Amino acid sequence: MALTIPTVLGACRGPALRKALPALADRPSLLAAATVLLVCVPTGEKDVTAAVHVTAADLASLALVALTALNLLRGRLPAVSTATCVKFAGIVVAAAVATVGSIDPAASVTGFVRLTQVFVLVPAAVLCSLRDRTDQRLVLGSFVAAALIQGVVGAHQYLTRTGASYTGQPIRAVGTFGALDIMAMSTVVGYGLLAALAVALGERHPGGNARLRRAMFGAAAFLVLPLAVSFSRGSWIATGVAATVLLLRADARLLVRGAVLGLAAAVVLIGGLGLDASGVTRRLSSIGSVSAAPDQSVSDRYDLWATAGRIWQDHPVHGAGPKAFQQLRDSHAPLRLSSGSDAADSTIGFQREPLLSPHNMYFLVLSEQGLIGIVAYGALFLGLLLGCLRRSRGPGLAAQALLTWVLVDFLYADIGGTTTVLTSVVLGLAARAARPAAERSADSTPKSTGVQAT
């Protein structure tokens, strides 16, 4: 039997690949959707201090980049404006300059590669894979599917008390990611909730798909529960801000209805499911006291931000170099900074997770890439946001909401962890939505290069 299985697999692999490759070439967004879904694959216990973590989603994203490169050589890519190319190129230039001038260039090389992957290569590949509305819906659907998977697992963890530790109780929903990647589930659920809500709002027009609209509204409503029991204040804030922007852009009257429904859902969740006893209301109230009476996690963030500021003062132009923050942290941090954050669940037991970044993407860029970096990232983010504001319907509205989530989340978080590649996909969606009308109409014109008409 041991000899038969490889033989059968070898016999089946050729025909399967021959069928799959043309499908991927014609619809590369399938790889973008696979990248999102593969985030749900458990990675097991991992060394959080390791320089590189390669996940199944990372491999799928690299396959998408390779396919895009192949299509580039074959002349099958859609038109992309010079302005868009310059914005993404600015990220590469800033990271390269910071790496050359790094305090440890050898260590910064891995950081340069990661930054290029997350902010340039994968977003550009996603942008090129989204050739029509079907591609965009496919990727948005993968966000919803991944969120539902994680949401079901997270809700089960809360209800059966098998999650990560929160206030000494195993009730914190972490999905398939575990306690060492504490915000990952709430990130996926937040993305999925916004994608579902955007798709549902996009079907409100005459002739819209009523079944799809009801299904997406139902999915968004369900995802409120796992988001609540993730106890992630950052994800709550980012989702709330992004949902508000989404409703305002779609129909301002919906914001009032949404607020009423939100209050009703809060009453049901807190009263009916006992979330008040589990500490959701206390967690919510703590958001208002982050300045007057911050808890230890918030206090540590303030200290990490101050540390990043001190590092930047020593390296103002090009920063200390990618991956340099963790090397310089101890020499620039105040003495009261904790050695790490607590993480505990039934799988890993109790561990102290080291604080290796400032937990603020903007401060991370400033400390490691200096003024050159912050200008490059600011140009990219602002350009994408302003471009998305021109789109008020369909997938463009979803891209705007997801980008808003990312930009708000970057105020108290940075890249790192299993869900980092999702940031790349969101940036690709936003880049697609931000394209000028002339480029979008050009995609619908048949080309001799082989791009299918949309």
337: which DSSP letter?
A: S
What is the structure's pLDDT at 266?
64
Cα–Cα distance, 63 to 29 (Å, whole number) = 11
Cα–Cα distance, 126 to 424 (Å, whole number) = 8
49: CB partners within 8 A, 6+ apart: 354, 356
Cα–Cα distance, 40 to 57 (Å, whole number) = 9
pTM, two decimals, is 0.89
| Sequence ranges of the domains in the chain | 91-443
Low-confidence ranges of the chain (pLDDT < 50): 1-12, 17, 444-454
What is the structure's pLDDT at 214?
94
Show the tokens assigned to 409.
């989340």
Find how far residue 245's CA is from the centre of its chain.
18
Cα–Cα distance, 61 to 123 (Å, whole number) = 9
103: which DSSP letter?
A: S
* Bridge partners for 349 per DSSP: 345
What is the structure's pLDDT at 26?
73
| Amino acid at position 400, single letter | Q
What is the structure's pLDDT at 79?
75
- Rounded to 10°, the helix 394-409/133-160 angle is 50
162 phi and psi angles, rounded to 5 deg: -125, 20
354: which DSSP letter?
A: E
What is the structure's pLDDT at 172?
93
Please report where in the chains the tokens 């808003």 appear, as a residue: 404
Show the tokens assigned to 208.
């819209």
User: pLDDT, tens digit, for every residue of 218-258?
Assistant: 999 999 999 999 999 999 999 999 999 998 888 777 767 76
Closest CA to 81 of 436, 445, 416: 436
What is the structure's pLDDT at 355?
84
* Bridge partners for 345 per DSSP: 349
